[in-house]
Structure 1
Amino acid sequence: MAIRKLAHPSLTVTDNRTGNTYELPITHNSVLATDIKKIKAQAGTNNDRPEDETDQGLRVYDPAYMNTAVVQSRITYINGQEGILRYRGYPIEQLVKKSNFLESAYLLMYGELPTTSQYSQWTDEIMHHTYIHSDIEAMFKSFRYDSHPMSMLTSAFATMGAFAPEANPSLQGQKLFTNAASGDLESLKILDKQILRIIGKAPTLAAASYRMRQGRPFNRPAQGLSYTGNFLYLLDNLSGYEYRPHPVLEKALDALFIIHADHEVNCSTATVLQVGSSLVDPYSVVSAGCAALYGPSHGGASESAIRMLMEIGSPENVPGFMAKVEKRERVLVGFGHRVYKNVDPRSTAIRELAEEVFAVTGRNKLLDTALTLAQYARESEFMRSRNLYPNVDFYSGLIYQAMGFPLDFYPVLFAVPRCVGWLAHWRQQMLNPSGVKIWRPRQLYLGEGERQYVEASERQANADSTVFDAPVEVSHGGDSKRNNLATYKDERGEIFKPRL
């Protein structure tokens, strides 16, 4: 069918409730949700409820943002159907082969690859912002020895904000960062300084969470090493001197950092923008991003993928495991992606890295199981029909394990480079010439309509209630049982009645 080109592309919509026709402009293959809101009908004429707010305009219902664009961005482009990922127009494959993490970070942040002098200044600034306040080290020591490193990292970023009151809009005025959009150089200096601080200190905070788990003293940042080289030093240096990480491992980690630096408006980046729209300080913004990344459906997926491979054990167990997956008795981790309906381009780049790392560390014992699972994915109609191909988490976990990182540290290795992507999107948000509007999604209310308060003596239990309609019974430890059997007076001087 031939497509007629129009001078003013638009969408013509007829509301069959009213017979009215609306013409909605199409820009960048999208229509404004506020234009949809112009489509109105009289309330009460279509079996609607007052809570549907029919006369206030049509709403777009899109659970989990399956097809909703929330920002206009110039940072990262993804084409999930064709397996394309580009940073500022540059294919991820080229950056992994030719660039390094800090150069790619500059690209994501400012839009162009840096000149030699720009790169030198950028690197020097970041590497001189690696130290953290000694009181933040004390904060790490307050955690239990078995705390998850990602919990510590999330808390550390939030804590770091308390050490930068000059960068807090709640203290310095809500336009502290948004004034930069109009060319206020002082505002822009404060904004970019926080970016340097966070990128510089992220490896130091991450390493502190690792050393805390190991029961080892914290290292101080080293001078003269690369960004990832310094990170490995912070993690691993013991009592020696002139520490140098293995160049293959350093290069591999740097490449993984490039691959993980950004991925458009994913769950954690959307969280960063949601929180950032309140104009809170960037440390709180990054802490919120860490909290979102922590989840097993996001940054925790590489850890979950390795645990799955460990459970499968050996290649001969793959068919049996996949039989359970196809019966929906088990969840397959490390395959498929919310956006990619083709091969994840990041997984292709990581697959090549894996071989380089294994040549140094030895072959990962789980690799044969992983390759068998990947082959199954290529040959299985069940997998192909659902576009289930290995994603970035599948191979990155194998590399991390080969490099000797503990499973619960994988999300932290994701968070350190992703700080760059988060901050690039946050910076773009703050520099929006139109200003920053607080994000406030709508809902479709399906609950009870208006009803009148019922006195306690007149209330009756709902015969149709389920297990979800009241708190489940909570079991308590032995000390609670003993206390409930004891007698003593409460703060009012009355005998305390135990709960039995």
Structure 2
Amino acid sequence: MSEGIKVGDAVITLPDGTTASFPLLKGTEGPAVIDIRALYQKLGVFTLDPGFTSTSSCVSSITYIDGDQGELWYRGYRIQDLANSCSFLEVCYLLMYGELPTGEQLDHFESAVKSEMCIHEKLIEFYRSFQQGAHPMAIMVGVVGALSAFLDEKKNYDDPVEREKASIKLVAKFPMLAAIAYRTAYGLPVVYPKRKFSYIKNFLYMMFHDPMNEDFDVDPVIVEAMEKIFILHADHEQNASTSTVRIAGSSLANPFACIAAGIASLWGPMHGGANEAVLNMLDEVKKRGAVDEYLTRAKDKNDSVRLMGFGHRVYKNFDPRSVIMGEIAHRVLETLNSHELELFQLAIEMEKKALADEYFIKRKLYPNVDFYSGVVLEAIGIPRDMFTVIFALSRTIGWISQWSEMMADPVKKIGRPRQLYVGEKCRQIPHARDRLSRTISPALTQRTRNVWSPVKKSIHHHVHKLHVV
């Protein structure tokens, strides 16, 4: 894969007058980058960039974001066009292979996915070891990692055929993995997929089918909404979870372990849990009945209240996905005529007032994709603790495509960030009698006791039970 076109050199000069030049590279779109891979070799220094806000971690041809213009492309296609014209499986094919499929290619791809949808019965037994009420994301981290024991078999992932097989298996099995996580958490029996259903409908079937009823049907509006939601979340460039997948893969870990690492990263409330936080905010505003008061508090930097679902780390204009998500919300809630319609109307009111407020306009705080997605998912009947699982299900194709692209690079380097060390200088260990006899502050002693006491009680409790048995 091309590493971009060299358009010149960037010269870096240190305070002592030492200078060195580095290639300035330009990609298809977006800002140029300075290739600083030889920085330490040439100048003996590293860069410091917490959060990687100004660092390109890889070269990729999959997804492009222009945060200033509010653009998101998959393989050169605008997200709006894909969401309005394509199925999720077409987008999966696009992300995996680089082009949209022909009718014949799509039929073959869909058949391959359906053939791999079921998971091993031993893995279903593994689900039963989780207690009822376990968080579905906790279950997903475990079972996706456990796929390695069933599907890896020491494959050679330098082989593009093996990478393709692993990618199809993950995309195919994830709906059943996610559905069983939900049914395990809620103490419901496992439902197996049906070949006659589409990818999206199979997921909804495995989630919501009542075994007491032979028939299953779902409103086409719901299927279409889920189709679009999956497309909107399929990939998003080098975000936290995708970067996690890539850095795990850089050690040549198997793809199932890499995706499990991505799920763990996604689980955090700063990443995948944002739409649930929006619903919690709307619940709070609804209970108090005070939109203006909430917005006022959100503007107060000394107040803990935050306006959830507004603003984005990358988009400084608007999130192009949010417009589509707002349209989806309108259609779903009007079709279902559900009680979430009240929350949706409240969300619309908050959006209108925030976008008319100079404080939010000045800071370019516009609604992001999470502002409406939670309202839609809850209206469909998906519990809030499953929202991030839905996100993971949608994002699996992006993760595995990014992993596959990285593995296709003939020159592989393990991820190894540097640091700015500010700890102690090298020092000698005191003699045992000196270090063991020294005194420490009473506050530190008490803090240690506070941490250790519950642990000791738990140990004594379990040991006592063992002796009794």
Is the shorter-chain TM-score for this pair beyond 0.5, marking a shared fold? yes
- Unaligned stretches of 5+ in structure 1? 1-6, 41-56, 179-186, 491-500
Match of 1:323 in 2: 296
- Normalized per residue, the structure richer in helix is 2
Match of 1:27 in 2: 25
Given that residues 22 and 36 in structure 2 are in contact (C-alpha distance below 8 angstroms), is that contact kept between their aligned partners in structure 1? no
Shift of 1:440: 0.4
Match of 1:362 in 2: 337
Give the 3-state SS of the residue equivalent to 1:307 in structure 2. Answer: helix
Instruction: Map residues 449-460 of structure 1 onto 2, 5 A cutoff.
Output: 449-459=425-435, 460=438
Match of 1:386 in 2: 363
Given that residues 152 and 254 in structure 2 are in contact (C-alpha distance below 8 angstroms), is that contact kept between their aligned partners in structure 1? no
In 2: Cα distance, 1:77 partner to 1:478 partner: 49
In 2: Cα distance, 1:8 partner to 1:192 partner: 35
Correspondence 1:377 to 2:354: yes
- Counterparts in 2 of 1:283 and 1:88: CA distance versus 1, 3 Å: same
In 1: Cα distance, 2:356 partner to 2:161 partner: 54
- Counterparts in 2 of 1:195 and 1:315: CA distance versus 1, 3 Å: same
Given that residues 33 and 60 in structure 1 are in contact (C-alpha distance below 8 angstroms), is that contact kept between their aligned partners in structure 2? no
Given that residues 63 and 76 in structure 2 are in contact (C-alpha distance below 8 angstroms), is that contact kept between their aligned partners in structure 1? yes
Q: Which moved more, 1:229-238 or 1:313-322?
A: 313-322
1:70-95 deviation digits (Å, cap 9, x = unpaired): 11000000000110000000000001
Q: Which moved more, 1:152-161 or 1:383-392?
A: 383-392
Given that residues 160 and 408 in structure 2 are in contact (C-alpha distance below 8 angstroms), is that contact kept between their aligned partners in structure 1? no
Letter in 2 for 1:32: D
Correspondence 1:83 to 2:70: yes
- Counterparts in 2 of 1:437 and 1:237: CA distance versus 1, 3 Å: same
In 1: Cα distance, 2:280 partner to 2:184 partner: 23
In 1: Cα distance, 2:283 partner to 2:345 partner: 12
- The structure 1 residue matched to 2:61, chosen from 62, 74, 80, is 74
Correspondence 1:407 to 2:407: no
Match of 2:246 in 1: 273
Match of 1:236 in 2: 208
- Unaligned stretches of 5+ in structure 2? 1-5, 27-31
Shift of 1:400: 0.5
In 2: Cα distance, 1:39 partner to 1:339 partner: 32
Match of 1:141 in 2: 128
In 1: Cα distance, 2:167 partner to 2:105 partner: 16
Correspondence 1:307 to 2:280: yes
- Counterparts in 2 of 1:323 and 1:159: CA distance versus 1, 3 Å: same
In 1: Cα distance, 2:459 partner to 2:94 partner: 62
Match of 1:351 in 2: 326
Shift of 1:402: 1.0
- Counterparts in 2 of 1:66 and 1:99: CA distance versus 1, 3 Å: same
Q: Which moved more, 1:20-29 or 1:276-285?
A: 20-29
Letter in 1 for 2:125: A
Given that residues 137 and 388 in structure 2 are in contact (C-alpha distance below 8 angstroms), is that contact kept between their aligned partners in structure 1? yes
In 1: Cα distance, 2:217 partner to 2:78 partner: 31
Letter in 2 for 1:237: H
Q: What is the TM-score when the length of structure 1 is the normalising length?
A: 0.85
In 2: Cα distance, 1:260 partner to 1:466 partner: 48
1:32-58 deviation digits (Å, cap 9, x = unpaired): 222432453xxxxxxxxxxxxxxxx11
Give the 3-state SS of the residue equivalent to 1:25 in structure 2. Answer: strand
What RMSD over aligned residues (CA atoms) do the two structures have, in Å? Answer: 2.5
Return the index of the structure with the highest Cα Rg: 1
In 2: Cα distance, 1:80 partner to 1:324 partner: 27
Equivalent pairs, count:
447
Correspondence 1:103 to 2:75: no
Shift of 1:305: 1.3
1:213-245 deviation digits (Å, cap 9, x = unpaired): 222110011111110000011011112224222
